[in-house]
A and B are shown apart, each in its own frame.
Chain A
């Protein structure tokens, strides 16, 4: 996902906002921002529940189940993007190279391209996102998945970051 968000500024004093922290887990995160271990446990726990994730440096994740990879965007990405209002996804059957642009997510004030974590063919797209694009914000690792695809080159998975490496990566962006 291209994090060079297109922001429409009214003035230099632009203020956007993050999604409402409705889930108690996130409120907990907010209160305990001085305790990074808490943060890491939270993300690790949520991903263990849904299977091991691999991440790109453009904030997509892929979860492999058998021969199928499910693709979505990370919590870091959905927070930065804001309320998703439209998902532009490819058609089933589209062949993708690793890092090829396959679509875009639009939020109120920003738009971001999506990049394929792997080489493969799109087998399914999440049709629920047409009527409910907010699923990407509410459940980015579960119901907010974007596409499913075949995995033509399994070795590409080794090039991606595991959760711990991704956590480190996003922390490095903060400095």
Chain B
């Protein structure tokens, strides 16, 4: 991928470096404790549990952060996504989807309507090139039509602080009362004395958490200040993947992609009511009829015991017919069972349906289950 962002946190090699490489030569990054330099190699399970009981920092600086300026900024962003942004309150955000003309999902993203004269967009690292090209192409069209809109691709870093003790940790460094910052709202504020930060109460773990956009020159300092609190530990992307799956959140590229429509992906809620009526987003002519007519396949959650279920595992009916495929799966330390997401024929998508998954040529029983697998703890206010 060209122009990819590098994570801005320092990646120091563990002194046990020879053991930190698998024999396939894949380099595995070890997190150092920035406090005392001692290698605190930790397991994914320990990290995940820590996030659910205390809080963890994730470096997500590779994600694309974009500002959309101009009088027609809402119209612009709505021309690319399925959500109703106009109806958002000031500084409120929502999950939305870029769609293509075939009704497929190009990326999932968070869109926040700020009261500082811009719409703030955060989209996936893996789609950064695709998304920026997509937005720039639409920008040219809008400008040519005489609209007032401009884009700025931000250079800031982004760190996520997720877990039940997040507010207690962060409040020490933020002047605003965090009790007023509810789920999916955003505020510009210094954080631990660092200017130019934006704090958004959202995340990818199912826990109460924030994502902090911070000038790249200060991200190390901010991380060190947060790590000074004993509640906080660094966490890596492996744990992040297990956390989001327990929370029932899709991973673009696995669970949703350009071949899945929002209806198949069980993401109809992202399509604003006004947008369904107006059919004014890419692929609307394919997506909107699916809402009523239903689709042949649907994304569902699965729970099983025994061997973990992974991406590409076939899903079978009770009588052994292939009815779908797993798109994400992992053992859940919280549930002590295996959780997974996949697509099945619509007839098997009801919660409670008994199905099977084929692991290493053996059929293992599984059950369609509701998501999130682990209850979410988003902060809705007092």
Contacts and interface: CB of A to CB of B under 8 A. Distances in A.
Interface of A: 3-21, 29-31, 33-34, 76, 79-80, 82-83, 85-86, 88, 104, 106, 108-109, 111, 171, 173-174
Nearest to A75: B19
Given A21-B41, A111-B310, 7 more contacts: A13-B125, A17-B31, A17-B238, A86-B307, A104-B360, A109-B238, A174-B18
Given A33-B16, A79-B19, A10 B39 contact: no
- Greatest chain B CB density within 10 A among A34, A79, A171 is at A79
Enumerate the 7 nearest inter-chain pairs by beta-carbon distance, A residue then B residue, closest first: A15-B236, A18-B41, A174-B18, A3-B23, A15-B29, A85-B331, A10-B237
B41 A15 contact: no
Interface of B is mostly: loop
A112 to B, nearest CB: 10
13 contacts: A6-B310, A10-B241, A10-B251, A14-B29, A16-B28, A17-B239, A80-B22, A82-B43, A85-B308, A86-B331, A108-B330, A108-B331, A174-B17
Contact of B18 (A16, A82, A171): A171
Contacts of B306: 86
A16 B125 CA distance: 18
A17 B41 contact: yes
Interface string B333-366: 0000000000000000000000000001000000
B126 A16 contact: no
B353 to A, nearest CB: 24
B15 interface: yes
Contact of A19 (B17, B43, B239): B43
B308 A86 contact: yes
Contacts of B62: 11, 13
Contacts of B31: 15, 17
Contacts of A3: 22-24
A30 B1 contact: no
B237 A11 contact: yes
Interface in B26-75: 26, 28-31, 39, 41-47, 62
Contacts of A174: 17-18, 21
Given A16-B44, A30-B15, A33-B16, A5 B24 contact: yes
A83 B23 CA distance: 17
Interface of A is mostly: loop
B125 to A, nearest CB: 5
Chain B interface category by residue count: 35 or more
B132 interface: no
B7 interface: yes
B30 to A, nearest CB: 7
- Greatest chain B CB density within 10 A among A5, A15, A34 is at A15
Nearest to B63: A11
B46 A20 contact: yes
B20 interface: yes
Contacts of A108: 43-45, 238, 242, 308, 330-331
B311 interface: yes
Contacts of B125: 11, 13
Contacts of B1: 12
Contacts of A4: 24
A13 B16 contact: no
Contacts of A20: 41-43, 46
A5 B330 CA distance: 15
A85 to B, nearest CB: 4
B24 to A, nearest CB: 6
